[in-house]
Structure 1
């Protein structure tokens, strides 16, 4: 069976998938995949769908500097229930200190070692059931990290994990500082899909995120009552400049009017912010069965300009807002008063 995404027509050479394997029904049972767990009949402990991993003597998570033969992954990570990811290593180190203090797991000023210190690609920190990881900038960087993270959760035998991307973004029609919880990640043509080339063929994957989790996060924000939060579509682009209709890049072949028309089309399509990672994040959460959410603060309204003019202190306050929201959610889930 081939699953189609509603709302667009497939190109002739394009395969549209919600599940990764469709031609052989039994292939979805490979590598520990359990249909009953996905159907909500038990705790999910396997997030991978790759029959080749079982035949490997060792799985080296190269960009994490971890491996199944060199590290006791269940002992190190088996208690993880929440994974929070963001682009900046500094931000994710700051977040783990913040959440550790809020959960009363340690002194918030404690020095948390970087678990990935042997590599310069990503940084990873852990405090109790919370894992904090940097993912760099753009789809390729976060995609590599997610492959190894999902395998890490599998090897560590983690169950019922929630993963949340926290970050910054450009807003559309929102006041700066508004937090956007992503309903769907859409591409630059406003379609809810992630396109990837596999074996020379275009594969389209769904980018819907967990609706219940989004609503839970929105309710947490209402409870906090410290900043505006909305649920909306997030446009994920392949670059920071022309792909986002900016006028301040090294190259620009369109007018201010054309930019504004495009952003108006995006707003009409439900887009409320723009970033560069949500599509592959949503697609991989969907494939793996992980509960996932994207929570990004808007630093400016892109209809009013392309460059940030807010003060350093104001931007720091904005960047803390997704962390505060996720902190409140985690504390609620763990019943920490």
Structure 2
């Protein structure tokens, strides 16, 4: 079953309604977003979140709070007391802040953590009847052939085999989903970065791994099953495949944005160079 809220604009159906694909949601008296500490019974989602147009997500709670304070100042929506309450207060899983039409949400580290957050965030936007939502992941990464401080706008996430796919086992069967991102949005972010000229901004594929150490060809984990030469050969192959940075969330982020009909893009700062 395919479900989604839509609205009429000049007699035409909105193209950016939030889509879900779960018939069980329609029959539930209450939908509990366990890890966000929110539920449809005690919260008026359309009233509280219905105006949301932009969502920025990132790993750590403090980073997303800092982003909230920054964007509030930029938009002239600063709180006189400098107070920005955590909407998810009461849970230590994630943090969420809201300034005008912008949500700022932390997602932790790795595919499992961001996947849980995105399931509940997408349902939140769905229940709130939001439309035309754009989600951008802002984070950090390891670079390939780039200097620290470079910002990478993701063209397409790929797995550790350099393939544009996200694989997940559901009921014992492997499900493969596309990691296609919004091309126009990526170009817009690339252009913004070039106009700022405060740091180098490039576009390239982002490799999403399941591990920070061996998965990213590091030599400093508790275990290392390869040589320095093998590492360098692998990273050279990654570069030749268009990969410019490595992180741990991009593939599922892209897959879930596409499934829910949300414009999504990823912007990552390179902290260190893998090669």
Report the TM range for the smaller structure's normalisation: over 0.9
Aligned counterpart for 2:175 among listed residues 195, 203, 206:
203
Closer/same/farther in 2, CA of residues 273 and 194 from structure 1, 3 Å limit: same
Decide whether the 8 Å contact of 1:169 with 1:273 is kept in 2.
yes
Offset of residue 193 of structure 1: 0.3
Greater helix share, structure number:
1
Offset of residue 196 of structure 1: 0.3
Decide whether the 8 Å contact of 1:32 with 1:48 is kept in 2.
yes
Aligned counterpart for 2:146 among listed residues 174, 196, 215:
174
Decide whether the 8 Å contact of 2:111 with 2:249 is kept in 1.
yes
Decide whether the 8 Å contact of 2:14 with 2:131 is kept in 1.
no
Offset of residue 226 of structure 1: 1.1
Matched, 1:81 2:50: no
Offset of residue 52 of structure 1: 1.2
* Distance in 2 separating the partners of 1:109 and 1:232: 41
Aligned to 1:103: 75
Aligned to 1:54: 26
Greater strand share, structure number:
2
* Distance in 2 separating the partners of 1:58 and 1:166: 32
* Distance in 2 separating the partners of 1:137 and 1:105: 30
Offset of residue 47 of structure 1: 2.2
Offset of residue 44 of structure 1: 2.7
Could you tell me the TM-score, scaled by structure 2's length? 0.96
Unaligned runs of 5+ in 1: 1-26, 304-337
What does residue range 121-160 of structure 1 map to in structure 2 within 5 Å?
Answer: 121-160=93-132
Number of paired residues? 272
User: Which structure is higher in RCO with an 8 Å CA cutoff and minimum separation 6?
Assistant: 2
Aligned to 1:220: 192
Aligned to 1:234: 206
Unaligned runs of 5+ in 2: none
Offset of residue 46 of structure 1: 2.7
Aligned counterpart for 1:277 among listed residues 245, 249, 255:
249
Could you tell me the TM-score, scaled by structure 1's length? 0.78
Can you list the C-alpha shifts for 1:151-186, whole angstroms capped at 9, x where unaligned?
000001111000000000000000111100001100
